[in-house]
Structure 1
Amino acid sequence: MAAAASAPEAPLSMAVDRSMSDTRMAPERVHEIVLHEDPVDKSRETGQPSILTTGLTLIAVGVALFLVWQTVSSLLIVFAGVLFAAFLDAAARALAPVLPLSRAWRLTLVLLLLSAISGFGLAWGAGKLPEQTRLLLKVMDTQVDILQEHLLSYGVDLLGPEWGRDFAQWLFANQGRFLSHAHFLLGGASSLLTGMLVVLFLGILFGFDPTSHRESLVTLVRPSYRARARAVMDEMGSVMRLWFVGQLIRIILMTACVWLALYLIGLPGPFVLGLQAGLSNFIPYLGPIIAAIPIALVAMPLGASLLVWAVVVYSIIQSIEGYVIGPLIQRKAVETPPAWTLVAIVLLGALFGVMGIALAMPLVAIGRVAIIRFYVEDYLSEDLEPATNKRE
């Protein structure tokens, strides 16, 4: 009987023990389920940033953009220094097969050659440029007289009766006006000289030690991505070298051709007109049109035949340079569609003035490299080579 009575008690005690064990394990199971279904851990496992991280990133980007906007003029000067360093590096690389010297000695030789060429140009231009400038001002003054006479026949007084049509009288008649012009010119000249010196010294410092300056920026990237960032920055440097050397070649060719052509047809001040036509190549599409205006103004009062000759000769030279020589020189450096380049020139010119216009083309070139490499290829994981081959 005792054995029979104890038999039903055994299952009952086992059930009570199991229920107590389940009761003790309940908090632990709940804690385990909560940890397993924690959304924070899910975001960590999937690699998605949290809301706090996204907010801090947006704030940091906004602050960085604000600082860039406030210091954009200085940043453009720094970028001009980087461009000059790229030119020095290209010149040193070109001398490597000829002179078996170290890179520092080749850069020193390049700087000495540039200093000698600049000194010779200043010494030669000091005697030529003032004379040609005076001739151009006299011719333009004559053209203003002719224009004023035509407008007076329609009852329009261009310059007004109190100033007349003499530029010298307009400039020096009023001492207050003269002092204001002098102050403006001196301030502009000092700012330009300061900017040129900063660009010069930055270019020299960057040119003599480009690796350490590049690595100082690469260290800001996470270690697993530094090799990629280093390769993209090297590609940007190559683009800047090709663009600057190509622009320098185009300026020299355009200046020489226009100078010779205008000298042969007998136009006054051919070197000044040729120089401004060559420098206008820094502004694609708009620059050549602007450079044609002084040539037409100088040739206009000298007769219709000389005006036609000057416009036709300049148009032919500019067409050959713009459609044949320029694309051959810059085809490896800048592959941006012309419309986007023109949009960048207009926007940067409206925002940042002359510096924005002058540096729009190289900024577009390296910006294109950054967008393609970092955004399209790395973020979107899209390879553009098949599309390029199909287009070709």
Structure 2
Amino acid sequence: MAAGASGPRRKDDSPLQRLDRSMSESRTGPEKLHEVVLRDTSADLPDARRSILATGLTLLAACVFLFLAWQTVSSLLLIFAGVLFAAFLDACARALAPVLPLNRAWRLTLVLLLFSALSGFGMVWGAGKLPEQTRLLLKVMDSQIDVLQEHLLSYGVDLLGPEWGRDFAQWLFSDQGRFLSHAQFLLGGASTLLTGALVILFLGILFAFDPNSHRESLVMLVKQSYRARTRAVMDEIGTVMRLWLVGQLIRIILMTLWVWIALYLIGLPGPFVLGLQAGLSNFIPYLGPIVAAIPIALVAMPLGSSLLIWAVLIYTIIQSVEGYVIGPLIQRQAVEIPPAWTLVAIVILGALFGVLGIALAMPLVAIGRVAIIRFYVEDYLGDNLKQTFNDGRS
């Protein structure tokens, strides 16, 4: 009976094992619970170590990614510019869909052929017009800067430094070493600009002809349960880029035409070049229009104070109407970007990455705002903002 009460004795048990079993059976309930908790905790230790190791590796990978992104940020900006160009080509192909019921690839091909023809015509036409007008404007601005420098020197202010010369050719050709250094600088800058333009062009064409495979190659990097959400947000970002870029191009074209016609009517020399630089400066909000007013004022200064006042006044009126009336009407379907954050992004990215950072600051803020609201505010924080972009069509 005693053997039946305590359970059958195993023949292969050693006296030490039988003693440990008898002590375990004689423990109270709290002691047994404590033993079970310790056993479970010791079983969870490998899982905790694996979790800590995975977190450490994730942080290390994030740091390495941020370091590589910082080292290759210029290339990343070129890639983003290629994505913007692809969004523009896609917008043009979508606009042709109601008119030409063709396959998307054929519509993209037609868009590329059309832009190639327009670019060739513009280069042929501009080759005979732009150099002459540009030389005239540079000559006028050079003389006006000299006049401004003389006025400032009369008040004891040396704005341009003692080495400033009125003749750029004499400054460039004064010695062979200086000329060669400037030639190398110009050739290097031209080659860098040409290489960047070709990279943006070919990346935009490749992205535009096969956007789904490029998108899915990024979507597959997230969890399978979150891929549908990621895909929807990326489609929304693409819609925002298309609408913003098309709106900016419309504003640039309108600004160029209006300034060109207005300066031509008041008799200012080189009206097309001045209108073109005024239109292109609209790509950089807030700061670009202010910079574009300087060449117009310098060209109008030698023609009299009345013409100077008229030129500056007309440009200010055109810029105000475009910035406060036409621009918001064109961009009302795209994401509304807070002006302060846009200006902060322009200043920071311009200081870090130069002209390319200034040019791409506004679209980066636009898509960054959509990504932060969707992924962080709504998904991570759980806020239901019910904020829609592009009138809810995305």
1:349 counterpart residue number: 350
1:376 counterpart residue number: 377
Alpha-carbon contact 1:141-1:167 (below 8 Å) kept = no
Structure 1 residue 172: Cα displacement: 2.7
1:323 counterpart residue number: 324
Structure 1 residue 102: Cα displacement: 0.2
Q: Deviations over 1:340-368 (max 9, x none)?
A: 11101111111111110000011111111
2:116 counterpart residue number: 115
1:228 counterpart residue number: 229
- Trace 1:255-270 onto structure 2 (pairs within 5 A): 255-270=256-271
Structure 1 residue 227: Cα displacement: 0.6
Q: Provide the rounded CA distance (Å) in 2 between the counterparts of 1:340 and 1:163.
A: 38
Which residue identity does 1:292 align to in structure 2?
Answer: A
Structure 1 residue 168: Cα displacement: 2.7
Q: Provide the rounded CA distance (Å) in 1 between the counterparts of 2:160 and 2:75.
A: 39
1:363 counterpart residue number: 364
Q: Deviations over 1:28-86 (max 9, x none)?
A: 97764334456848988xxxx93333222211111110010000000100000000000
Q: Provide the rounded CA distance (Å) in 1 between the counterparts of 2:218 and 2:248.
A: 28
Structure 1 residue 335: Cα displacement: 1.7
1:34 counterpart residue number: 38
Q: Provide the rounded CA distance (Å) in 2 between the counterparts of 1:136 and 1:68.
A: 41
Structure 1 residue 96: Cα displacement: 0.4
Q: Secondary structure at the residue paired with 1:50?
A: helix
Change (3 A) 1:386 1:179: closer
Q: Which runs of 5+ in 2 are unaligned?
A: 9-17, 390-394
Which residue identity does 2:239 align to in structure 1?
Answer: S
- Trace 1:105-254 onto structure 2 (pairs within 5 A): 105-154=106-155, 164-254=165-255
Q: Provide the rounded CA distance (Å) in 2 between the counterparts of 1:386 and 1:177.
A: 58
Q: Provide the rounded CA distance (Å) in 1 between the counterparts of 2:100 and 2:388.
A: 42
Q: Provide the rounded CA distance (Å) in 2 between the counterparts of 1:386 and 1:182.
A: 53
Structure 1 residue 208: Cα displacement: 0.3
Q: Provide the rounded CA distance (Å) in 2 between the counterparts of 1:161 and 1:22.
A: 102
Change (3 A) 1:383 1:203: same
Q: Secondary structure at the residue paired with 2:187?
A: helix
Q: Which runs of 5+ in 1 are unaligned?
A: 1-9
RMSD after superposition: 2.9
Q: Secondary structure at the residue paired with 1:376?
A: helix
- TM-score for the superposition, normalised by structure 2: 0.87
Structure 1 residue 190: Cα displacement: 0.5
Change (3 A) 1:163 1:277: closer
Q: Provide the rounded CA distance (Å) in 2 between the counterparts of 1:202 and 1:62.
A: 27
Q: Secondary structure at the residue paired with 2:333?
A: coil
1:72 counterpart residue number: 73
Q: Provide the rounded CA distance (Å) in 2 between the counterparts of 1:41 and 1:317.
A: 71
Q: Percent identical across equivalent pairs?
A: 77
Q: Provide the rounded CA distance (Å) in 2 between the counterparts of 1:248 and 1:263.
A: 22
Change (3 A) 1:17 1:158: closer
Structure 1 residue 91: Cα displacement: 0.4
Q: Provide the rounded CA distance (Å) in 2 between the counterparts of 1:386 and 1:119.
A: 43
Change (3 A) 1:243 1:272: same
Q: Provide the rounded CA distance (Å) in 2 between the counterparts of 1:386 and 1:116.
A: 41
- Trace 1:25-104 onto structure 2 (pairs within 5 A): 32-37=36-41, 40=44, 50-104=51-105
Q: Provide the rounded CA distance (Å) in 2 between the counterparts of 1:16 and 1:161.
A: 108
